[in-house]
Amino acid sequence: MSEADKHHMYACPGCNVFFLRVSNPTADAFKARPRCRASRVSSSFLNLWFYKPMCFTASCGREVECMVELRRECLWEHVTPQLASPTVLASTIKVDVCVIGGGITGLSAALKLLEKGKSVAVLEAHQVGHGGSGRNVGLVNAGTWIRPDDVEATLGTKVGARLNQVLGDAPAQVFATINRLGIDCQARNDGTLHMAHNASGVADLQARHDQWKRRGADVELLTGPQCQEYCGTDKISAALLDRRAGTINPMGYTTGLAEAVQRLGGRLFQNSAVIRLEKQGSSWLVKTADGMIVSDKVVISTGAYTEGDWSELQKNYFRGYYYQVASKPLVGAAADNVLKHGQGSWDTRTVLSSIRRDADGRLLLGSLGRTDNKPTWFIKSWADRIQRHYFPQLGKIEWDMHWTGCIDFTPDHLMRLFEPVAGVVAVTGYNGRGNTTGTVVGKALADYLIDDLPEELPIPFSTMKPIQGAGLRSAFYESGFSLYHAGQCLRVVL
Ligand SMILES: Cc1cc2nc3c(=O)[nH]c(=O)nc-3n(C[C@H](O)[C@H](O)[C@H](O)COP(=O)(O)OP(=O)(O)OC[C@H]3O[C@@H](n4cnc5c(N)ncnc54)[C@H](O)[C@@H]3O)c2cc1C
């Protein structure tokens, strides 16, 4: 039996018989091998979630298991060596600034503070990169998700223009940081491709192209054979190539930042969740279960992963999810033609699909929503469907890992900076663009704590304002994404 065949093989742990899944999940027929009766399992649109392939041999009825299991593991964690010597905070330490959250934002802030001569402690509830920073797609995007004209319409011309400029230039800062610190993270500054999946997608990309061009950005709208050559698919009629941007292994980048923080004498504590933040005289007491940091200033950079009720930050965003599925490394001419110039990409669907390769030739597909609450067959079916739609020339490919992460969304898709009290700064609402944004915001918050120049920030501070019905919004979007993906599997959409 070939490796590919094994992906369709299911075994019943009770009867020790094998089943071969012969079709897609809309018609889950199982041919019995070698001796059990053929079985069919219903999977109507509504019970899709609850469906599990069962053994129908005699009266067994047990759930059968795929012989080659798609692992729930983050690729970037898998390929990145862990930080040496994880230390838990178990004493009281005094520093100039305490940074809460060991992601790209917190570590970028810590690095800048250390470079300017401040003493810094970073507290991370789990391991460095546990949040979005270690598990994202790795797109080093320029700008926000929304068009630059819309940023100015929402924030006003002056503030919006500054944010567009800062985030438009942000990929250059990420790649400069990687080069300066010698971070090994599969960095490629070859651009990104935003791919139009239909006519309205083309119109959207034309508008984005024109708006960024007016601002002097190095973008190009690819069409015709050139577009096909870059994307490696004939399903895309236009793609916006943004040469400012690129891709990284985000866990590699985050770990590299953490190592640089340690090299500069920063104190980094992992498995040290903050449970309390108190003011005492002119100092801040940042408490964990086993220790305490006493600092003059505090940076809260816990993003979508904020844990505990010691801050109001989590009331200022609503949580969304994004998942990815990675194949085993692909080889051969057909594989080489998929995104052959090394760009990371995503399509113009509202519930988008992201597509990229990694340094080992894996194909990574992703979309909004979560896979940690879905059966393996569903995840594989979705990945197969997207791959066969865009890259049928690859034939059947083997999916290896899947993982999910949280994103901090805001209703207007724009981030918020806060200074709830003097000496404490916080940020949230990257809306799924934190590799670049976290890098520049972390540095900007550090500069602000040192120089006290609010006009130098990418955007002004906002007042904290809880988002109404945040939990309901999250649930509503998650259901919508799940239904959309079910529709993709069932070929109702796509
Ligand atoms: C699946 C996915 C795909 C994405 N794709 C992209 C992409 O391609 N490009 C892009 O630019 N952005 C992407 N993003 C968004 C990006 O990953 C995030 O915006 C970014 O990583 C946020 O960085 P951060 O440092 O602000 O927060 P995080 O990386 O989330 O770090 C916050 C840290 O704070 C810690 N923490 C929480 N509570 C406490 C506490 N009480 N005490 C101590 N520590 C605490 C958490 O454990 C966590 O490690 C994606 C996000 C996800 C989830």
In a domain, 286, yes or no: yes
User: Rounded distance, CA 364 to CA 347, Å?
Assistant: 14
pTM for the full predicted model = 0.89
Mean pLDDT of 18-42: 41
pLDDT recorded at residue 493: 83
Ligand 1 centre from 403 Cα, in Å? Answer: 14
The two structure tokens encoding residue 191: 């651009």
Q: Which whole-number Å values give the CA distances from 150 to 219, 345, 478, in the listed order?
A: 18, 22, 25
User: Rounded distance, CA 348 to CA 330, Å?
Assistant: 25
47: confidence class by pLDDT, cuts 50, 70, 90: very low
Percent of all residues in the chain with a pLDDT value above 90, rounded to a whole number: 84
475: confidence class by pLDDT, cuts 50, 70, 90: very high
In a domain, 327, yes or no: no
The two structure tokens encoding residue 444: 């900007």
DSSP 102: -
User: Rounded distance, CA 247 to CA 238, Å?
Assistant: 20
Which residue has the CA at smallest separation from atom 53 of ligand 1? 405
Same domain, 93 and 34: no
Kindly tell me if the per-residue pLDDT of 35 is higher than 50. no
Same domain, 158 and 89: yes
Same domain, 125 and 142: yes
pLDDT recorded at residue 471: 93
Same domain, 90 and 173: yes
In a domain, 486, yes or no: no
Whether the CB-CB separation of 111 and 257 falls below 8 Å is answered with yes
Question: What is the total count of domains within the chain?
Answer: 2
Residue corresponding to tokens 């392939």? 53
Ligand 1 centre from 267 Cα, in Å? Answer: 20
pLDDT recorded at residue 203: 98
Same domain, 133 and 154: yes
Ligand 1 centre from 120 Cα, in Å? Answer: 20
Mean pLDDT of 109-129: 98
> Exposure string (b/e) for 447-468, b if CB count within 10 Å is 16 or more?
bbbbeeeeeebbbebeebeebe
Q: Any idea what the CATH number is for the domain that residue 179 is in? A: 3.50.50.60
57: confidence class by pLDDT, cuts 50, 70, 90: low
Ligand 1 centre from 232 Cα, in Å? Answer: 31
Same domain, 42 and 88: no
Same domain, 96 and 64: no
pLDDT recorded at residue 137: 98
Which residue has the CA at smallest separation from atom 17 of ligand 1? 132
Kindly tell me if the per-residue pLDDT of 101 is higher than 80. yes
Q: Which whole-number Å values give the CA distances from 311 to 66, 80, 462, 476, in the listed order?
A: 43, 31, 16, 25
In a domain, 405, yes or no: no
In a domain, 9, yes or no: yes
In a domain, 392, yes or no: no
Ligand 1 centre from 184 Cα, in Å? Answer: 20
| Ligand 1 atom closest to Cα of residue 405 | 53
491: confidence class by pLDDT, cuts 50, 70, 90: confident
| Ligand 1 atom closest to Cα of residue 131 | 30
Same domain, 38 and 162: no
Which residue has the CA at smallest separation from atom 4 of ligand 1? 136
pLDDT recorded at residue 267: 98
Kindly tell me if the per-residue pLDDT of 454 is higher than 60. yes
| Ligand 1 atom closest to Cα of residue 139 | 8
In a domain, 347, yes or no: no
Same domain, 31 and 111: no
Name the domain boundary from 68, 83, 116.
68
The two structure tokens encoding residue 366: 């992703």
Kindly calculate the radius of gyration of the chain based on its CA atoms and give it in whole angstroms.
24
User: Rounded distance, CA 486 to CA 494, Å?
Assistant: 11
| Ligand 1 atom closest to Cα of residue 408 | 19
| Structural domain span for residue 100 | 72-185+244-317+411-463
Q: For 156-188, write each residue's pLDDT tens digit.
A: 999 999 999 999 999 999 999 999 999 999 999
Kindly tell me if the per-residue pLDDT of 289 is higher than 70. yes
Q: Which residues line ligand 1 (CB under 6 A)?
A: 100-106, 123-126, 130-133, 135-139, 141, 273-274, 301-308, 322, 405-407, 430, 432-436, 438
Preceding amide of 460 cis, omega within 30: no
Kindly tell me if the per-residue pLDDT of 49 is higher than 90. no
Ligand 1 centre from 304 Cα, in Å? Answer: 6
| Ligand 1 atom closest to Cα of residue 354 | 8
Q: Please provide the average confidence, as pLDDT, over all residues in the chain.
A: 90
Same domain, 270 and 166: yes
Name the domain boundary from 16, 33, 68.
68
Same domain, 11 and 77: no
Same domain, 33 and 177: no
In a domain, 261, yes or no: yes
pLDDT recorded at residue 176: 98
Name the domain boundary from 15, 48, 68.
68
Ligand 1 centre from 182 Cα, in Å? Answer: 22
